[in-house]
Structure 1
């Protein structure tokens, strides 16, 4: 029977065999002694314990499993013995004096690299994971955003789901380096050295970087590398290819800056233009206002559009700057997350505005008025459309709703969306039904907008004059207003539709409609569920028959029967039998008989 011990290693509890615990304790104490005089000792020890805890968790199948000597030995084999390393500062020189043969080469895992990030570190993390430069990942995001349109959503999901590389062990795993004592110590001491060097040499580095940038040209650098005899041909070729890739990347950076800046400037101009719309009249803006059935303020919609489109293009502009300027100062996480939140809120607000706009067309209602006409079945009805030069100028039949001003200068919405339907009736007098239709958020608003449609007609001396347009007040907005006119005509009545009604009649008869646009300018007699044209030209019909013994076509008639052949055409009649031939034409009758 073995005694077990409960331990807390980097915040995780484990059940471990007593012998294995003693060995692990001796191992950790030896590591601590190795780093007694090392800079960042506490951080190194904490990261080593976190890595050991992670390796234990990978080997524990359930909470009740006890860690034994086997698991401890495996961990020590991976992490290495403290005496296998030089723990002084010399191991961090450019040429290390001791090379340790790695006992394990762990596979890379996906983390977000926030130390080299523009936004959330997703691209840098993917670059480490796939072993490529992060700039190509960022260019792929741009293609997804402007191509399939899924780049933004995918990036946000990765930002939320992929963990950040916080500990030294996680950063080593992210880059594919073995997580052992040597690499953990080197990673931490590199961080301390970087901070120290930066604070001590910041002025000198700025001066040197400016001087080197002026004196050293990349082309010269790569030319010298080609001439170096210490490098192989393939190494030089790889550097040349990478040089051209960097040139292309710089060019892409310039394009991103131009596109981003141009779009942002255009959005700013559009935003301020709508802001002063009440002061300066902008052509066509009244149409936008009348189409705004949801009554959302235009300045608010323009502001939401500005944030929705402008923020992605700002980051596109910022990315171009980062590509061109390596040491460009970051705008900070607070600004990044603020812009992201503002962008998400703008999208949500635009969706709400769109739903509100669509809800104004949720219901379609109609208002019908029916009027008798003082005409009977024995009379002839003439139907004409009445045009108005003010409303019909440059106006096509199906141009939907437009805006104009009446004689008093009042603004009106007008349209020619009018359809005429003719049906027969058994009543003794004719009647006309005007059906006005409109959309609305609810029944009450839809029926109110339908009633507010202004349409007129008149009847005089058996002639029905129909307006070729209707109008409504702009307060009713563009709500798919239209008018259906139904004429109920008694049977046996004669009706004449003027040619200017052609575009308002349907091109065919259907669903009880008994008059089509093809019969305008003709007198029609109303029948039961049908109409008959009284003065339409008679259509010529062609009959063609081609059967054995009989052939009928435009040329004439031919009959063949045994020894008999008869042909009738425009020239006359020819008949041939076995003993006789008969020919009848303009010259007379000719009969020949064989003796």
Structure 2
């Protein structure tokens, strides 16, 4: 068991092992002794302590980690010992100076060089970072500002705001890519003092006095402060906006996660409908959690970014937490993509099964009547829909899936008898799976006298799930046979039934039709058109099924105009 102590190093609190603390204390004391009596010794020591604190923070995985001998030794190795750099020139004047291996150059970091600035120090900082003379950098910004509609000015202002200034000795060394050790810190501090001494020696006191009297700041400094102030306000606004967006989204997701999970647990109506849509096999609570992480983690980082903008000294969540959240997000998104692919695959293929049967009417010469069965007395339905699919209950109160996706078509028979073909369609991940699902569709009809009574709904077990199940009934009638569509078939008549009136689907209802030799229905009781109507411009039928534009035989085209007065459709006659 080792004793630990708390230390304040460069205004940062660290937990350090007692033995490591003693070693660090002796190291700092030896540095103080080495620089005692040196110009700027206090600033040198303060910069050294700040650099040591930075190195400790880089090595810590969390704020409660204890600094040990290992970390102290690594820091001393980076910073070096004072005796490696201090040379008493009076004693060793006649001896050749020893050369010490200097650490390799570090990667440069971008800072604003405020010591050599004209406005904000951006160009001077880019000189160090890019290795290009600041004069050329300034010319580039000016040319960009002139020839790109102000882009150069905008870029300069953004860099001024976003790039920090090199204020400390460590930052100035980082800007130049020089190792931050005792030797370089000492050199930079001494250079600063020498520069100050040189400026004091060569200063024109009268000129400075007049300048101080006139203004304490340069014009550019004042403008810079105003711009920075405005952008800080804008930045705070952006931070507040990010916090509101992130927090509200997370709260909504959190509420939705537990609401869906709770509803699924107590089987609230509607939640279980997910099961007939879902093909991935993933329970609703798992999908809810994956969606929570996939959507919530990006918005959490938006919230965190907003807090970082508003709170200057906000603690970092740490690299472990960041990478853990990133990994969790990637897993959630990847899993949802897999579920989505499996879901889409269930609709990749369509399978069909056909059942054709010849009907024997009691009186073949009678009119064939087509009507729908009143199935509402046989089934009870829920009000929850997935397209045209809904839950229902059969006469034994077993839960089933129901749909009115039924189309009735009329075609000319090749024989003298009436026949009916029932085609059942469904989707699946393969043709075989789709055909199996289609076979499980229940649909029936009966022939009573001269009337074909069709089921109003197709049904299937809930285990077959909603996969675009539909039924198409094709009735084949011989030539000259009369057909009558009962009003109950109004919404079930399919598209493309050829008739001499040009009626579209619902227009066929409650009229008597006879099949001609060309497979077209001829109306027996439709109102006759007058001469003007027959020679007119055709018809446009607009109903719940869409828009049908009928062009008569003596017309080959039409024109449509849409303007502020509305829509105008005019058929052009053949020349």
Partner residue of 1:131 out of 156, 159, 165: 159
* Alpha-carbon distance change, 342 to 172 in structure 1, aligned in 2, over 3 angstroms: farther
Provide Cα deviations, 1:66-119, integer angstroms capped at 9, x if missing partner: xxxxxxxxxxxxxxxxxxxxxxxxxxxx99xxxxxx9x945539xxxxxxxxxx
Distance 1:439 1:242 in 2: 62
Matching of residue 442 in structure 1 with residue 491 in structure 2: no
In the TM superposition, 1:18-97 aligns within 5 A as 36-37=85-86, 45-48=102-105
* 1:293 and 1:479 in contact (8 A); partners too: no
Unmatched runs of 5 consecutive residues or more in structure 2: 1-80, 88-97, 109-114, 117-123, 132-154, 190-212, 537-575
Q: Which residue is equivalent to 1:298?
A: 284
Distance 2:400 2:375 in 1: 14
* 2:243 and 2:303 in contact (8 A); partners too: yes
Partner residue of 2:222 out of 236, 260, 263: 236
Distance 2:383 2:516 in 1: 36
Partner residue of 1:360 out of 342, 346, 351: 346
Provide Cα deviations, 1:179-212, integer angstroms capped at 9, x if missing partner: 5x7x96699639x99xxxxxxxxxxxxxxxxxxx
Partner residue of 1:534 out of 524, 527, 550: 524
SS in 2 for 1:367: strand
Shift of residue 523, structure 1, vs aligned partner: 1.3
In the TM superposition, 1:8-23 aligns within 5 A as none
Distance 1:394 1:280 in 2: 18
Shift of residue 453, structure 1, vs aligned partner: 0.9
In the TM superposition, 1:561-580 aligns within 5 A as none
SS in 1 for 2:337: helix
Q: Which residue is equivalent to 1:462?
A: 450
**TM-score calculated relative to the size of structure 1:** 0.55
Q: Which residue is equivalent to 1:346?
A: 332
Partner residue of 2:274 out of 288, 292, 297: 288
In the TM superposition, 1:298-447 aligns within 5 A as 298-375=284-361, 378-389=365-376, 399-447=387-435
CA RMSD, Structure 1 to Structure 2 (Å): 4.4
Distance 1:427 1:231 in 2: 105
Q: Which residue is equivalent to 2:483?
A: 495
Distance 2:99 2:289 in 1: 51
Distance 2:180 2:384 in 1: 78
Partner residue of 1:522 out of 508, 511, 522: 511
- List structure 1 segments (4+ residues) > 4 angstroms apart after TM superposition: 32-35, 41-44, 127-130, 183-188, 390-399, 513-516
Partner residue of 2:130 out of 94, 108, 115: 108
Distance 1:397 1:338 in 2: 40
Shift of residue 302, structure 1, vs aligned partner: 1.3
Provide Cα deviations, 1:159-185, integer angstroms capped at 9, x if missing partner: xxxxxxxxx99x879x8x555x7x966
Shift of residue 388, structure 1, vs aligned partner: 3.1
Farther-moved stretch of structure 1 (235-244 vs 321-330): 235-244
Unmatched runs of 5 consecutive residues or more in structure 1: 1-31, 55-93, 96-101, 110-126, 137-167, 194-226, 546-595
Distance 1:398 1:277 in 2: 19
Distance 1:384 1:395 in 2: 25
**TM-score calculated relative to the size of structure 2:** 0.57
Shift of residue 401, structure 1, vs aligned partner: 1.1
Partner residue of 2:497 out of 481, 484, 509: 509
* 1:439 and 1:480 in contact (8 A); partners too: yes
* Alpha-carbon distance change, 228 to 362 in structure 1, aligned in 2, over 3 angstroms: farther
* Alpha-carbon distance change, 398 to 297 in structure 1, aligned in 2, over 3 angstroms: closer
Provide Cα deviations, 1:299-355, integer angstroms capped at 9, x if missing partner: 221121111101101111111111111111111111111111111121111111101
SS in 2 for 1:47: coil
